[in-house]
């Protein structure tokens, strides 16, 4: 079966296509963006989601937003670009990959100051393409590093979708699953459904099943039972932001999974591209946590599953304290505690 790619860039037409993840697994539809209009909404409404994919989308999005700015004066051009970056950056607060990618684009413009604006635009396009390509390489390396911690036949529990759909290719948490498949290994993957947006069942189960990987979907409240039955050898999840002390924000429910993993003495691995590590955020309490619409919980598919107007609390992410993490696995290597020191050393 053909693989699902979260985003593609057509260099000739200068178009970004995003797979509309809101309607998976039932419908495969790509939305085409020819300019920057709609990029903010695509990220906010989760047409595209997952920290690395959001970053890559933002990089192309800012290029699309400035390519038709006909301004020869650098300061004037840069001010427009900065404003557009601020707008896209305000779409979702938790994944640091968003501001990381936008800052990279801004820095590219700053270092090109003095060149004609048209040339700067070409360099910005090239930078977005670099970010895209690097994401693929990063994910593959994370997969190689994670694979050294696993054995053929292992059971892996994952939460949310840190898969190919959340990145440019391979995913982060799913990268070792794809590489294991290439090697002829059989990993057994348990994919938490991941309430309330169901990224685990609608996305992770879909992409792994299409790749011929052994995947079993469970609801979030079944994780403890599956672990107690000895079916899980490792938990592997992605991340949206890792603070300087190793506290890690990821999809709501990850914290609970980490407590279970600790209880059952199962290693808890964070698959982490280094752009997700934010040394400017000292600890988990400082990570901004997005709260999303109440209807994600009460009226998910147009059917009310709670009384209308009931009070709702819907934090989209939680923070796993660093004490619950066995290792943070990056493209540059595997980081063990003490995280504060070892994260600094690897960057």
Annotated catalytic sites, by residue? 240
How far apart are the C-alpha atoms of 236 and 173, rounded to whole Å? Answer: 6
Distance of CA 280 to the CA centre of its chain: 19
Shortest gap between Cβ of 333 and ligand MRU (angstroms)?
18
320 binds ligand MRU (CB under 6 A): no
160 binds ligand MRU (CB under 6 A): yes
DSSP 265: T
Instruction: Report the residue number whose CB is nearest to ligand MRU.
Output: 238
Shortest gap between Cβ of 33 and ligand MRU (angstroms)?
18
Shortest gap between Cβ of 173 and ligand MRU (angstroms)?
7
Count of alpha carbons within 13 angstroms of residue 290, beta-carbon side: 21
Report DSSP letters for 230-263, one per residue.
Answer: T--SEEEE--SEEETTS-EEEETTHHHHHHHHHH
Shortest gap between Cβ of 222 and ligand MRU (angstroms)?
19
Residues touching ligand MRU, count (CB under 6 A): 18
* Residue 70, number of CB atoms within 10 A of its CB: 8
Specify the residue, 124 or 328, whose C-beta has the smaller distance to ligand MRU: 328
Specify the residue, 125 or 273, whose C-beta has the smaller distance to ligand MRU: 273
Which parts of 12-51 interact with ligand MRU (CB under 6 A)? 49-51
Q: Using the rule CB under 6 A, which residue among 167, 248, 258, 281 binds ligand MRU?
A: 167
Shortest gap between Cβ of 276 and ligand MRU (angstroms)?
7
How far apart are the C-alpha atoms of 155 and 239, rounded to whole Å? Answer: 20
Q: Using the rule CB under 6 A, which residue among 89, 217, 316, 320 binds ligand MRU?
A: 316
How far apart are the C-alpha atoms of 89 and 203, rounded to whole Å? Answer: 25
Q: Using the rule CB under 6 A, which residue among 6, 168, 217, 250 binds ligand MRU?
A: 250
Burial of 224: CB neighbours in 10 Å, binned 0-12, 13-18, 19+: middle
Shortest gap between Cβ of 135 and ligand MRU (angstroms)?
10
Which parts of 44-103 interact with ligand MRU (CB under 6 A)? 49-52, 95
Name the segment binding ligand MRU (CB under 6 A); options: 6-14, 107-115, 163-171, 206-214. Answer: 163-171
Which parts of 213-242 interact with ligand MRU (CB under 6 A)? 238-240
Specify the residue, 127 or 192, whose C-beta has the smaller distance to ligand MRU: 192
Name the segment binding ligand MRU (CB under 6 A); options: 26-34, 166-174, 206-214, 326-334. Answer: 166-174
Structure tokens at 222: 């079944």
How far apart are the C-alpha atoms of 287 and 252, rounded to whole Å? Answer: 13
Shortest gap between Cβ of 65 and ligand MRU (angstroms)?
21
166 binds ligand MRU (CB under 6 A): yes
- The residue with tokens 């539809």 is 29
How far apart are the C-alpha atoms of 182 and 174, rounded to whole Å? Answer: 13
Long-range contacts for 177-185 (Cβ within 8 Å, ≥24 apart)? 177/143, 177/208, 177/211, 177/213, 178/143, 178/211, 178/213, 179/140, 179/143, 179/144, 179/147, 180/147, 180/150, 180/152, 181/211, 181/212, 181/213, 183/147, 185/152, 185/153
Q: Using the rule CB under 6 A, which residue among 6, 168, 172, 202 binds ligand MRU?
A: 172
* Chain contacts with ligand MRU (rule: CB under 6 A): 49-52, 95, 160, 162, 166-167, 171-172, 199, 238-240, 250-251, 316
């Amino acid at each position: 079966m053909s693989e699902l790619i979260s985003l593609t860039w057509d260099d000739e037409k200068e178009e970004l296509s995003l797979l509309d993840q809101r309607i998976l697994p039932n419908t495969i539809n790509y939305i085409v963006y020819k300019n920057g209009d709609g990029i903010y909404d695509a990220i906010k409404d989760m047409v595209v989601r997952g920290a690395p994919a959001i970053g890559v989308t933002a990089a192309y999005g800012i290029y699309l937003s400035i390519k038709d700015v006909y301004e020869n004066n650098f300061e004037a051009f840069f001010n427009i670009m900065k404003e557009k970056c601020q707008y896209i950056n305000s779409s979702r607060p938790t994944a640091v990959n968003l501001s990381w990618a936008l800052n990279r684009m801004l820095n590219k413009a700053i270092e090109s100051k003095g060149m004609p604006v048209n040339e700067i635009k070409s360099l910005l396009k090239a930078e977005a393409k670099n970010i895209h390509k690097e994401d693929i390489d990063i994910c593959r390396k994370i997969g190689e590093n994670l694979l050294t911690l696993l054995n053929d036949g292992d059971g892996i529990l994952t939460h949310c979708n840190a898969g190919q759909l959340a990145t440019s290719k391979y995913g982060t948490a799913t990268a070792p699953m794809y590489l294991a498949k290439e090697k002829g290994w059989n990993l057994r993957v348990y994919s938490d459904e991941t309430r309330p947006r169901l990224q685990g069942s609608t996305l992770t189960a879909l992409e792994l099943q299409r790749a011929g990987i052994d995947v079993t979907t469970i609801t979030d409240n079944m994780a403890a039972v599956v672990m107690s039955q000895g079916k899980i050898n490792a938990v592997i999840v992605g991340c949206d932001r890792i603070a300087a002390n190793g506290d890690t924000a990821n999809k709501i429910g990850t914290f609970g999974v980490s407590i279970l993993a600790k209880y059952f003495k199962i290693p808890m691995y964070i698959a982490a591209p280094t752009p997700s590590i934010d040394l400017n955020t000292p600890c988990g309490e400082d990570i901004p946590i997005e709260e999303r619409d109440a209807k994600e919980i009460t009226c998910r598919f147009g059917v009310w599953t709670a009384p209308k107007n009931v009070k709702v609390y819907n934090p989209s992410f939680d923070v796993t304290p660093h004490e619950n993490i066995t290792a943070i696995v990056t493209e540059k290597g595997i980081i063990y505690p003490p995280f504060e020191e070892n994260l600094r050393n690897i960057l």
